[in-house]
Amino acid sequence: MKILQSDIIKEFKENGRRHYTLECKNCGDKFTMRQDYVSIKKECICKKCSKIKSSATHGKSLLINKKRNRIYNIWSGIKSRCNSKSNTNYKYYGGRGITICDEWKNDFMAFYNWCLKNGYNEDLTIDREKNDGNYEPDNCRWSTKCTQSRNIRTIRSNNTTGFKGVIFRKDRKKYYSRIQVNYKTIAIGASNCAIDCAIMYNNYIDEHNLEHSKNIV
């Protein structure tokens, strides 16, 4: 529905301020408003039309804000991993010389616009094509968690999954998460994706306050 300006049908003063009686061109509703408020509006200001417009745009605004907030959190996380020595994962990023390019580091909107033009989706995570490369447009992409897990540095030469505490059972075609505590092996869980098992491993460490080193996910 197109929102139209309202017609001024009467002008008067009240309490020393100029007021207008207006009639909405769109719905015919008549209402009174102060002149200084009317002058800063560029669209219909009658309550009936404003309510309709508000309900139509509210849902869209929520979706936009949700997307923007997630991308902002991703951007903040990248900067923290690369620049903040207090970040628990700094040693795997900034500590290894991985940086975020000046274009993104100094301008969130530059990163935001790149995301929208390069396949951003809520189900995907940002990934560096070259694992030793920086966070920059030519080296980043959006990928599934399982695709990203294949780009993680391996933990040991005989660890085919690339994650601590994660093994792949060929006979069952599944990944399994397990951990050793006091010389005992504890089964944590299973998944079709290695990174899910790596997250299970990390969560188990947190939940039981263990001193084991965690996976990079």
**For every residue of the chain, which 3-state class applies, written as one string?**
CCCCCEEEEEEEEECCEEEEEEEECCCCCEEEEEHHHHCCCCCCCCHHHHHHHHHHHHHHHHHHHHHHHHHHHHHHHHHHHHHCCCCCCHHHCHHHCCCECHHHHCCHHHHHHHHHHCCCCCCCEEEECCCCCCECHHHEEEECHHHHHCCCCCCCCCCCCCCCCEEEECCCCEEEEEEEECCEEEEEEEECCHHHHHHHHHHHHHHCCCCCCCCCC
Q: Are 28 and 76 in the same domain?
A: no
Relative orientation angle of helices 47-83 and 108-117, to the nearest 10 degrees:
100
- Residue with the two structure tokens 């030519």: 138
Q: Are 62 and 127 in the same domain?
A: yes
| Pick from 177, 178, 181: nearest CA to 212 | 181
Share above pLDDT 90 across residues of the chain, in percent, rounded to a whole number: 20
Q: Which residues share a beta bridge with 81?
A: none
Q: What is the pLDDT of residue 199?
A: 87
Q: Give 148's pLDDT tier (boundaries 50, 70, 90).
A: low
pLDDT tens track for 118-127: 988 888 888 8
CATH number at residue 161: 3.30.730.10
Q: Are 64 and 135 in the same domain?
A: yes
Lowest mean pLDDT segment, chosen from 15-19, 26-30, 60-64 = 60-64
pLDDT at residue 107 tops 50:
yes
Q: Are 173 and 217 in the same domain?
A: yes
CA distance 83 to 152: 20
Q: What is the pLDDT of residue 151?
A: 53
| Boundary-marking domain end, from 143, 164, 185 | 143
Q: What is the pLDDT of residue 89?
A: 76
CA distance 168 to 198: 12
Asked whether residue 165 is assigned to any structural domain, the reply reads yes
Whole domain around residue 41: which residue ranges?
6-45
Lowest mean pLDDT segment, chosen from 24-33, 122-131, 138-147, 168-177 = 24-33
| Boundary-marking domain end, from 143, 176, 206 | 143
Q: Are 168 and 108 in the same domain?
A: no
The average pLDDT across 78-103 equals 88
Q: What is the pLDDT of residue 83?
A: 92
Q: Are 73 and 127 in the same domain?
A: yes
Q: What is the pLDDT of residue 9?
A: 66
Q: Give 99's pLDDT tier (boundaries 50, 70, 90).
A: very high
Asked whether residue 51 is assigned to any structural domain, the reply reads no
Asked whether residue 50 is assigned to any structural domain, the reply reads no
CA distance 116 to 121: 8
pLDDT at residue 180 tops 60:
yes
Q: Give 178's pLDDT tier (boundaries 50, 70, 90).
A: very high
Q: What is the pLDDT of residue 138?
A: 94
